[in-house]
Amino acid sequence: MPDSAADVISVERRQAISDCLAAERACLDAVEYLRGQGRERGDGGMLEILRQCTDACRRTAASLERPVEPDTRLGEQCATLCTRVAQGLADAMDAPPLRACSEACLRCASSLKKVVAPPSAISYDKVDAASFPASDPPATIGGDLDVRTDPPPRR
Say which amino acid occupies 15: Q
Average pLDDT over residues 47-67: 93
Residue 57 and residue 83: Cα distance in Å, rounded? Answer: 12
d(CA 138, CA 46): 56
- pTM exceeds 0.75: no
Question: 93-137 pLDDT, tens per residue?
Answer: 788 999 999 999 999 999 999 988 755 444 444 444 444 444 444
Cβ 115 vs Cβ 70: under 8 Å: yes
> For 24-53, what is each residue's pLDDT tens digit?
999 999 999 888 887 654 445 888 999 999
- Residues 114, 62, 41, 96: is their CA dihedral positive or negative? negative
Extents of the domains making up the chain = 9-119
**pLDDT of 92 over the 80 cut:** no
Whether the CB-CB separation of 46 and 89 falls below 8 Å is answered with yes
DSSP designation for 132: S
Q: Burial code of 22-56, b = ≥16 C-beta within 10 A, e = fewer?
A: bbbbbbbbbbebbeeeeeebeeeebbebbebbbeb
**If you classify domain 9-119 with CATH, what class do you get?**
mainly alpha
